[in-house]
Amino acid sequence: MDANNENSEGTEDNITLLYDSIRFKSGQRINRFNNVPRDVDTSTVETEKQGVQQKNVRKRKVLSRTALTYELEKFELKILLIFNHIKVINHEERRGTEEDVKSLKCTFGNFGFTVTEYVDLTEKQIKNTLKDFTSKNLSNYGCIAVAVLTHGSYDGELMAADTSYNEKMIVEYLKAGDNNTLITKPRIVIIQACRGKGDIKAVTVSGTEENDIFTDAINESESYTLPMEADILVLHSCYEGNPAHRTDKGSWFIKTLCEEIDRLAATEDLESIITVVKRRVAIDYIHEKYDSIKTEYSYNKQMPVSTSTFTRKLYLRRYKEVSEQTEVSITARDEPSPQELDVVPTQMVKTVRYVVRTIVYTTVPTL
């Protein structure tokens, strides 16, 4: 190879490197960083790559890392699945449970939830229903809730129409690991069932009106460890080892939960509302029963329990409904991430930060 050809090739290489450098700094994708030969049509390569991605990866809508709420107002689809058990083998009929269903349908329906009720399913039918639903692409859903109204016992045992199963099964189906379209989506499990037969005694004795009180109890079972993943909230109607109370007018817990959501959802997030529910059930409700052996009255209480791995606040919102809380969340998301800062001019970053902070400060109400 002669010197002229070497100089010519060297000049072409320098020009190519300079051109690639300019394109790289402008934030565009360049061929040599993708190991694509220069004589290959890049549009064909990109199309082929996208085709592979579409086959192997589900498209999903995830929240920004700076999102402060779950932004339900941006999702038209929300769903509540109710597994309602009226008749359970070898157990008394669960009178009053239909009132709980009415309350749940009304309350969650007001926030745009599609509510589907399943009555007296077997253990296999419950499993298949959860499996079928959670195997779908749920990208367009803003929230998934499951309510179980049944008899229960120690360590998370719940009754289906034919046999018992563990509440762990429900949580397992709702884990995001098996369906990446569930990532950053709030999932709620509401369980109205006893967790044992031991009474919670009242600290202060006071009289109440006499009502027929029923419990949702089954026999004892083996203990277990309940695995939890992010963005799952489990609500139990009562404390471990104690019964949950229900009358012909519905259960203490579901009735109070729906009442407080209806009353406070416009201004409070769900976990703050649940704190009010716990307080009301713990203080306002009491079951008086007569002990014929001791010839005296005893007073039984109930303490709801919540277990949460929520990473954001959940405001129950209808589609496109905006409030002060959601305005702040939407504004906060606009600030660039550290990765984005690498390709955004410094002056522009300062301007964006100033504008975002100004909007946030002016939209947060003064306490």
What does the alpha-carbon distance between residue 361 and residue 366 come to, in Å, rounded to a whole number? 10
Please, which pLDDT band fits residue 1 given cuts at 50, 70 and 90?
A: low
Whole-number percent of the chain with pLDDT over 90? 49
What does the alpha-carbon distance between residue 97 and residue 149 come to, in Å, rounded to a whole number? 7
Per-residue pLDDT, averaged over 182-208, amounts to 75
Average pLDDT over the chain reads: 76
Q: Residue 357: pLDDT above 80?
A: no
Residue 46 has a pLDDT of 44
Q: Which of 36-45, 108-117, 209-218, 250-259 has the lowest mean pLDDT?
A: 36-45
What pLDDT, in 10s, does the model give residues 253-263?
Answer: 999 999 999 99
140 token code pair: 């367009």
Cβ 82 vs Cβ 104: under 8 Å: yes
What does the alpha-carbon distance between residue 63 and residue 72 come to, in Å, rounded to a whole number? 11
Task: Give the chain's domains with CATH numbers.
Answer: 72-308 (3.40.50.1460), 334-363 (no CATH)
Per-residue pLDDT, averaged over 235-263, amounts to 94
Per-residue pLDDT, averaged over 128-132, amounts to 97
Reported as half-sphere exposure (CB side, CA atoms, 13 A), residue 171 has a value of 20
> Where do we find the tokens 């579409």?
54
What does the alpha-carbon distance between residue 50 and residue 155 come to, in Å, rounded to a whole number? 47
> Where do we find the tokens 């929520």?
310
Residue 132 has a pLDDT of 96
Cβ 224 vs Cβ 217: under 8 Å: no
Residue 135 has a pLDDT of 95
Please, which pLDDT band fits residue 140 given cuts at 50, 70 and 90?
A: very high
30 token code pair: 């360049």
Please, which pLDDT band fits residue 323 given cuts at 50, 70 and 90?
A: low
Q: Residue 268: pLDDT above 50?
A: yes
Distance of alpha carbon 61 from the chain centroid: 14
Residues 6+ apart with CB under 8 A from 359: 331
Residue 144 has a pLDDT of 98
Q: Residue 133: pLDDT above 80?
A: yes
The DSSP annotation for 177-246 comes to GG-GGGTT--EEEEEES---S--EE-SS---------EE-B------------TTEEEEESS-TTS--EE
What pLDDT, in 10s, does the model give residues 70-95?
Answer: 999 999 999 999 999 999 988 889 99
Residue 177 has a pLDDT of 80
Residue 145: φ, ψ to 5° = -125, 145
